[in-house]
Each structure stands twice: as structure tokens, then as C-alpha cells.
Amino acid sequence: MSVITAVDTFDIRFPTSQDLDGSDAMNPDPDYSAAYLIIRTDAGDGHGGHGFVFTIGRGNEVETAAIEALRHHVLGRNVEELLADMGATWKLLAHDSQLRWLGPEKGVIHMAIGAVVNALWDLKAKRAGLPLWELLSGMSPEDLVALVDFRYLSDALTPEEALAMLRAAEPGREARKAALLAEGYPGYTTTPGWLGYSDDKLARLAKEAVAEGFTQIKLKVGASLEDDIRRVRTARDAVGPDVRIAVDANQRWDVQDAIDWMAHLAPYGIAWIEEPTSPDDVLGHAAIARGVAPIPVATGEHVQNRVMFKQMLQAGALQVLQIDAARVAGVNENIAILLLAAKFGVRVCPHAGGVGLCEAVQHLSMFDFVAVSGTKEDRMIEFVDHLHEHFVTPVDVHGGSYWPPSAPGAGTEMLRETLADYSYPEGPVWAAGAVLETTRKESR
């Protein structure tokens, strides 16, 4: 028996706004950040559970405080007990009768629950000696169903239906696992498309992406129609007719604006329009989907919980579902969302990039392929070639594909030096803040 002895938190920030990496129509100058935690035990095996919430700078201290507000649920608890029944552990955190008022099941507190849940999954996978995708893919359909809170879902998906889907996928698991190891899982890249990049840089990076083997790139749009038409044309000229180009408006538009704007971009061949409007506007997304068809509508990185995804699917509001490893309450809730997507026959193309999102979310797509939807067709995981060097087990993306990680854990562990260097505001990177502030102003 072992006990959780500490839940350490870190406010980690990277000064990415200096280079306009990550810039889009709503977020012109993000400092990519992580509200990070390590769950430590007295087991003596050296394993800690690592998890985080991705944020883009200011407010990361609020997210870190929210993680700390959950500490009492796990500190001093029996580790084996918590990890043996992750469905019960999820409910312990998500159903906290007082903290729930801050949501319910949305926003800062819900994301903090996700970080704690993901840290526990990281610990569970390390103890099992397996990467998370493989751990999940080896669980019985009954045990997987037990991870999900079906409250608010049963009008769209019952535990019995979920069980039937998972059982139907069970016989093909071994063959798909072999296929995954042999072929990898397709990725696409957003690296060329940040709004702050010049046309030359966009064209160069787009060509490089194709040369690297990617079959889809994504461009940020939504600030200026004239610029967007020129940038999409530039990208199309650079990649040729066969590479897919998705666009992402990061919630910039009202419903009619989205429909009108997309009519101007449609002639260049658009793979999907992502986050055209508010992530809470279910009916608005449905109207946009009708208005821009056959261009698919994609959303999910800001969809706050499984209940919103349920409504989006019921309303025909999205054709591409973008789970995010750090937006909802962790692995358990993302399994609920993967099951919903499978029930509705909608493809899942995860949101990634940020800090560690690629490392984390790949496990969910790989698990989905092996044990849930059973298909990779038209599915791909977002990739941004950025900040991976700060992780103990960075993603292996080459030839346009993600390659299944073999290291035990959930991929969420950052390097110890990174935690020291980028801690805000006391780490050496930020302690030199006067210099950074000057550089940042000059770059605008």
C-alpha cells in the first residue's frame, strides 16, 4: 500500500509572444503556458503522476490555484484505491458539492479536475509499465464503460449502447494495434498558418510541411477578409491542388459573418472551417454547417464538457469533432466524448499544439482507433512543431504521422529543468523580464 504524499503545483510560462508563434485572430500574442502538477507518493518506485492545463499566459496562476483547491481530494489517500477505480475517482473530483458551484463542469475548475485526473492516469500507466494508449486499449469494455459518467448523456448514449460498441470493436483490437505500430496515426500541421507570419514565411513553411509528408495544413483566418483570401491563395499555390487546407477562425465571427466569409474562401478548396463562432453556440454552429456545406464545421478545443458535445452532435452542428486533452475533465470525460462521436458516426480530429497537447492527446486517438471507433479514415491529429523539447517523452512525428509512444505514462511529464527555468515569475527566464519586455514591444 502507498499513499499520496504531495501534490506540487507549478505556474509554467514560455515567452512565445516574442515570435508571434501561436498567433491567431483572437489570441494575437499568447505566452504558451501550463498550470502543472506532480502527484508524489511514498511508494519508492520513483513514479510521479504528471498533469497540466494548457493556458496562453495571464490567468495561469488562477488555473494553478484551482488545481490546489482540489488537493485535499487526493493528498494522503491510498494510491492503489484511487487508481483501481478511476470512474469513482473521477466522480470524487467532479462531484465535489462545493467546488461544483464554480462550474458546474466547465471552465477553470473543470479544467483543473482534468489536470488531476490526467496526472493520476499518468501514474497508473507508469505503474502498469505501459503507454496510456496501450493501457486503455487493453481494458475490458465493462471497465471502460465504468470510467464514464453517463449523467446527462443517456438521452443520446446509454451505458448499454457504449458497452455494445466497445464489445463489437473488441475482436479487431490486436489487428488494429499491429496496424498502428506499423503505419502510425496521421497528423496534420498548423505550423505554417499562424496569423502573425508573413506570406513568404507561410509559403516556405507550407512547402516544408508537404515535403515532410503532411497531407493537410491549417491556416488561421478571421482578422481581415482581404488578407485571408491572399493567404489561402498563397498556401494553395505553395502546396498544389492535392494537399488539404483547413482554416481556423478561433471564434471570431457571428453566424452570418462566418457563412459570408467562407463563401470567399471556398473556391480555394477548404478541408474544414474550425471554430467559426462561440463554442457555446450549438444552434449557431448548426446554422453555419448548413450555410457553408459541403465544407465541414470543426470545433471542440473550447467545448467545455461532454454535455455540450452531445448537443453539438444531436444538432448536426459539427462534422469534425476536436477533442482536447486539457479542456474537459481528463481522460475519463474524453472517453465519454469518443463514445459519443462513435455513436453519431462523426470523425474525431483532436486539437493539439500548445504546451504538451500533442504528447497527451495522441494517446486518446490511438486508443480510439484500437478500441472504440476502429478507424483512422479521414482522421488526423493536429501537430505543431513547438515546445516538444520540454517533455521527457516528446512526440515522434515523422513522415506526416504520429508514431505510437512506447514509454510508460501519459506523455505529460515535463523536464525538471524546464519546471525550474520557466516557473513564473521567479524562474531565470522570467527573472530577466525587463529584457524580455523590451524585446516584445520592439517586435510588435
Question: What residues contact residue 425 under an 8 Å CB cut-off, 6+ apart?
Answer: 431, 433
Cβ-closest residue to Mg ion? 248
Q: What are the two backbone dihedrals, phi and then psi, of residue 21, each rounded to the nearest 5 degrees?
A: -65, 135
Is residue 324 a contact residue for Mg ion (CB under 5 A)? Answer: no
**Which one, 324 or 359, has the nearer CB to Mg ion?**
324
CA distance 246 to 188: 10
CA distance 31 to 67: 20
**Which one, 20 or 139, has the nearer CB to Mg ion?**
20
Q: Which of 324, 372, 331 is nearest to 350 (CA)?
A: 324
CA distance 196 to 399: 27
Q: Shortest distance, CB of residue 178 to Mg ion, whole angstroms?
A: 32
CA distance 345 to 144: 19
126 is an active site residue:
no
Count of residues that bind Mg ion according to CB under 5 A: 2
**Which one, 63 or 274, has the nearer CB to Mg ion?**
274
**Which one, 119 or 246, has the nearer CB to Mg ion?**
246
Segments in 99-254 forming alpha helices (H):
107-128, 132-137, 141-145, 159-169, 173-183, 199-211, 225-239
Question: What residues contact residue 52 under an 8 Å CB cut-off, 6+ apart?
Answer: 12, 34, 35, 36, 37, 115, 118, 326, 355, 356, 412, 414
91 is an active site residue:
no
Catalytic residue, candidates 177, 343, 351, 390: 351
CB 264 within 8 A of CB 229: yes
Is residue 248 a contact residue for Mg ion (CB under 5 A)? Answer: yes
- Tell me, residue by residue from 196 to 235, as one string, x for binding to Mg ion by CB under 5 A and - for no binding: ----------------------------------------
> Segment contacting Mg ion (CB under 5 A): 82-90, 222-230, 257-265, 268-276?
268-276
Q: What is the CA radius of gyration of the chain?
A: 21
Q: Shortest distance, CB of residue 248 to Mg ion, whole angstroms?
A: 4
Q: Shortest distance, CB of residue 323 to Mg ion, whole angstroms?
A: 12
> Segment contacting Mg ion (CB under 5 A): 10-18, 57-65, 240-248, 325-333?
240-248
Q: Shortest distance, CB of residue 367 to Mg ion, whole angstroms?
A: 22
Q: Shortest distance, CB of residue 384 to Mg ion, whole angstroms?
A: 10
**Which one, 70 or 262, has the nearer CB to Mg ion?**
262
Catalytic residue, candidates 47, 50, 124, 220: 220
Q: Which residues are catalytic?
A: 220, 351
Residues in touch with Mg ion (CB under 5 A)? 248, 274
